[in-house]
A and B are shown apart, each in its own frame.
Chain A
């Protein structure tokens, strides 16, 4: 009897699954509407923005039009993209890449090693040199480049071609049909993409749209993909809106200007670090998105972040601060364009006040400062390279790039950096977005890279948000 019941239930389940499978079958067509807060000015890899957040948005959009030689898989390992094979010499100073055959730029020009080398030279006036011959591309440098494939998989190392009319042509799944810098970008499906035509007919990207407006547009069915600030994620989830978050890809940290007398003494910096309640920042301001940070690299990237546990210690912070006999307040600046930064900075000032440390919060660019609140994006997923990039971004010149370092070496280097208290990690922040109900097969990389060539739109779904993820 029990067996009969089980068989009956299995049959019913199979019958129920059949129409569902039919509804989730990919459909071609449709325009995906995306809204971003960043005001991207150009997709040209030669004009890469210096601001990390704008650079991240530019990279996302550029990756729809242009491709790199190598891509990263879900585990961060380099995988073939425009290059299908590569090898290095013993010192990792010369790398040879074999290009994928049959790839053409969206203007119809075939992808050749010469074209790739030309693009490389346009984007890299200094550093390693690239030469092309047939389908082989050689990148050579005087210094060892052990992680070159992984490095080529991130950042601005896109392969592009400058056409006769000065425009850029790429090999990506989409091509540019309309471009209004800082305002609007319209992409159309690249019918000749080597991996096949994307499901979407087009992608319409609105730029410079505020988070509130993005949420309104999503609610009213005027957008399909919008960005979410950490404070909006749980609220959106509570209202049934589909959300997606990446791994924590940004480090929120305090960076001291050690040339300032007020923070020249490491004990003063340590006092402020000890006064901060990171748990409150993470649980309330970041709405439990990402992680509270006591290390430079997140756990998912380094694997040892848990070793850097640091508890808030107001008494010790107060003692250290009193030792310094500081007179004036510390000036903490934040990026006014970063809506989250102000609240975090204010919270730090409140925490510091509890330890007797006066902190004056002001917008960056209004004058000299002792410490600033910054975001640093992890451009690479290899711990050593990521730490080196962070150190470089923070101006910690003493952090030398390690050659194929072991986890212990990276850990030691990171601890040494942290013990200078020139940078105080606060939190790791993920990248989040909200999706309308008709977006299907939304499967970006864990660190946030979009893969719109695999996404499609369900015409039967309601245009507004609120559908099940």
Chain B
């Protein structure tokens, strides 16, 4: 990935992240603000309900007291206090009193707790009133929540009890107002809020017991978990119900347990607050953030592209100059356009290149001197050997002429033969040096590398098992699927022979010569390994230097010739060696050598 692309990505990710962060922050803040407002509204509604509950209770108390204080009630209490009183005369009175005093429930209860008359369940007369402890108390008692039994089930009632005492006997007036949808409808609710009432009068959750101001609640089963939770632990809690897949249908419910006189849970008030407004606003914020984010991203891409282009152009130029230098154009220099870090980098690069050129020149000079020295040493060494016999032979001739003239002819014949042989030797040495200096240009044709390998090995096979010499075994692992390469077969064979010969020299005590060929990433790889004594790291570094040799005998040109051949074919050669473990030469040859710089292939 280019530097410009990276910069582009960094800029884009930064902008998008910033926009996302801002949108998330706004959303979070909005949600919290809504929830806070929601909580305030719910608290207000719960407080309103408590107030309404209290006022209704006071109203019920007033109405029940109104009934208890009437002359008719007092007369009834007097009549019922008589020994032979007939309560059946009043069996229908409760209904009329309830209607006239606007009470939903009214029961007249005798001193012995027998029901005289019931407005809500007239047929229950004569049965004992099911008092909850504490309900029959004094006049200071306020209204309380009560479970009211009805013919078709039970209901919640806000109830007050008053006693009309006559001669030590009480007539109880038990009146109440029903807690139902009418009661809920009387609550003033802000927009988006509603109140549900669950009448906890059954052993388990009953959908029909859940109502709002309009009547039974649809999808009551979604409320069931909240009610069940409150039933298990009668405490206020807040839960969110999503009525459909639409998130805007979500509604937050704040529960308020409604307890009876015994501390039993008689009902649950659920104050619901629609989240539609919040969800709509959040959706708007999200959409806006997406829009802003999209536009900002496009702008960011454009700007970052422009900025990164400006930033990376000098770097790219610098990289181009570096590539030129690496390619050998040591005269290439980076253009310094600014004084910033990039400019300083370009200046430093130019300085470094200059120093590298100087060092290279010095190194070349040093290597050239070293080569000349090596050459001189090698020449001196090579030439010294034939020169010494020449000198001895000439001195013998001189001594024979002076001391043994009769044997001079014979000695002359022998000496001239020796001189001629040594001169030929000198000529051969000079010829080898001349050959290296005049390495021919490769004549390319299709060459089977495996075949070249086999030819090279075959040439030396007799010497592998020569008498008086430790035996060398050869192992060939040749990839028969190798393609043919464009190469000079003679040069290639010569290079391989040099490597085989070098390996043989490296294994004076015998060993194994292993040659492998294979197709390696589009090039043909040839590996020649021996099990000789190996080379040091320093030896490896100088191995291909002309006239360098680690052997007692040799010109030091064998591996130099190999490198020259490989290089002329556009290939590379490397050596791996560890002392004591052997050496491996690795040659990579392209299928076809690259065209020479002048544009035509050598022929």
Q: Tell me the A residues contacting B by CB distance below 8 Å.
A: 231, 234-235, 238, 277, 280, 283-285, 287-288, 343, 346-350, 354, 361
The listed residue (B87, B88, B92, B124) touching A350 by CB distance below 8 A is B124
Residue-wise, chain B 131-160 has the 8 Å CB interface mask toward A (1 for contact) of 000000000000000000001000000000
Is B183 at the interface (CB under 8 A from chain A)?
no
Contacts A/B (CB < 8 Å), 18 sampled: A231-B91, A234-B89, A277-B126, A280-B125, A283-B88, A284-B87, A284-B88, A284-B125, A285-B91, A287-B88, A343-B122, A346-B123, A346-B151, A347-B125, A348-B123, A350-B121, A350-B124, A350-B151
CA of A180 to CA of B122, assembled, Å: 38
Contact A280 B122 (CB under 8 A): no
User: Which residue of the partner chain A has the closest CB to B126?
Assistant: A280
- Chain B residues contacting A346 (CB-CB under 8 Å) are 121-123, 151
- Chain A residues contacting B125 (CB-CB under 8 Å) are 280, 284, 347
Residue-wise, chain B 449-460 has the 8 Å CB interface mask toward A (1 for contact) of 000000000000
CA of A318 to CA of B469, assembled, Å: 125
Is B436 at the interface (CB under 8 A from chain A)?
no
CA of A132 to CA of B420, assembled, Å: 193
User: Which residue of the partner chain B has the closest CB to A347?
Assistant: B123
- Chain B residues contacting A283 (CB-CB under 8 Å) are 88
User: Which residue of the partner chain B has the closest CB to A346?
Assistant: B123
- Chain A residues contacting B122 (CB-CB under 8 Å) are 343, 346
Contact B151 A284 (CB under 8 A): no
CA of A75 to CA of B418, assembled, Å: 190
CA of A349 to CA of B121, assembled, Å: 11
The listed residue (A235, A238, A349) touching B151 by CB distance below 8 A is A349
Residue-wise, chain B 344-386 has the 8 Å CB interface mask toward A (1 for contact) of 0000000000000000000000000000000000000000000
Contact B151 A361 (CB under 8 A): yes
- Chain A residues contacting B151 (CB-CB under 8 Å) are 346, 349-350, 361
* B383 shortest CB reach to chain A, Å: 130
- Chain B residues contacting A284 (CB-CB under 8 Å) are 87-88, 91, 125-126
Is B3 at the interface (CB under 8 A from chain A)?
no
Interface core residue of B87, B121, B123 (most chain A CB under 10 Å): B123
* B109 shortest CB reach to chain A, Å: 15
Is B29 at the interface (CB under 8 A from chain A)?
no
User: Which residue of the partner chain B has the closest CB to A280?
Assistant: B126
CA of A338 to CA of B539, assembled, Å: 130
Contact B89 A350 (CB under 8 A): no
Contact A343 B123 (CB under 8 A): yes
* A357 shortest CB reach to chain B, Å: 14
* B347 shortest CB reach to chain A, Å: 102
Contact A288 B88 (CB under 8 A): yes
User: Which residue of the partner chain A has the closest CB to B123?
Assistant: A346
What are the 6 A-B residue pairs with the smallest beta carbon separation, nearest first? Answer: A346-B123, A347-B123, A284-B88, A350-B123, A284-B91, A280-B126
* A317 shortest CB reach to chain B, Å: 16
- Chain B residues contacting A287 (CB-CB under 8 Å) are 88-89
- Chain A residues contacting B89 (CB-CB under 8 Å) are 234-235, 238, 287
CA of A347 to CA of B124, assembled, Å: 7
- Chain B residues contacting A231 (CB-CB under 8 Å) are 91-92
User: Which residue of the partner chain A has the closest CB to B87?
Assistant: A284
- Chain B residues contacting A347 (CB-CB under 8 Å) are 123, 125
User: Which residue of the partner chain B has the closest CB to A234?
Assistant: B89
* B154 shortest CB reach to chain A, Å: 13
* A199 shortest CB reach to chain B, Å: 37
- Chain B residues contacting A348 (CB-CB under 8 Å) are 123
CA of A375 to CA of B72, assembled, Å: 35
Is B477 at the interface (CB under 8 A from chain A)?
no
* A339 shortest CB reach to chain B, Å: 11
CA of A183 to CA of B371, assembled, Å: 149
Is B127 at the interface (CB under 8 A from chain A)?
yes
Given contacts A347-B123, A354-B127, 12 further A-B contacts (CB under 8 A): A231-B91, A231-B92, A234-B89, A235-B89, A280-B125, A280-B126, A283-B88, A284-B91, A288-B88, A346-B123, A349-B151, A350-B121
CA of A231 to CA of B91, assembled, Å: 9
| Chain B residues numbered 535-579 whose CB sits less than 8 Å from any CB in chain A | none
| Chain B residues numbered 82-139 whose CB sits less than 8 Å from any CB in chain A | 87-89, 91-92, 121-127
CA of A387 to CA of B126, assembled, Å: 33
* B437 shortest CB reach to chain A, Å: 121
CA of A238 to CA of B122, assembled, Å: 22
* B117 shortest CB reach to chain A, Å: 9
* B593 shortest CB reach to chain A, Å: 102
* B422 shortest CB reach to chain A, Å: 135
- Chain B residues contacting A285 (CB-CB under 8 Å) are 91
* B97 shortest CB reach to chain A, Å: 15
Contact B127 A350 (CB under 8 A): yes
* A330 shortest CB reach to chain B, Å: 14
CA of A287 to CA of B89, assembled, Å: 7
CA of A234 to CA of B151, assembled, Å: 27
- Chain B residues contacting A280 (CB-CB under 8 Å) are 125-126
* A442 shortest CB reach to chain B, Å: 25
CA of A283 to CA of B85, assembled, Å: 13
* A252 shortest CB reach to chain B, Å: 15
CA of A424 to CA of B124, assembled, Å: 21
* B116 shortest CB reach to chain A, Å: 9
* B27 shortest CB reach to chain A, Å: 55
CA of A379 to CA of B122, assembled, Å: 32
CA of A343 to CA of B124, assembled, Å: 10
CA of A238 to CA of B88, assembled, Å: 13
- Chain A residues contacting B88 (CB-CB under 8 Å) are 283-284, 287-288
User: Which residue of the partner chain A has the closest CB to B127?
Assistant: A350
- Chain B residues contacting A361 (CB-CB under 8 Å) are 151
| Chain B residues numbered 282-337 whose CB sits less than 8 Å from any CB in chain A | none
CA of A208 to CA of B91, assembled, Å: 26
* B237 shortest CB reach to chain A, Å: 36
CA of A153 to CA of B35, assembled, Å: 86
* A178 shortest CB reach to chain B, Å: 37
- Chain B residues contacting A354 (CB-CB under 8 Å) are 127
CA of A350 to CA of B120, assembled, Å: 13
The listed residue (A235, A238, A288, A349) touching B123 by CB distance below 8 A is A349
CA of A285 to CA of B91, assembled, Å: 8
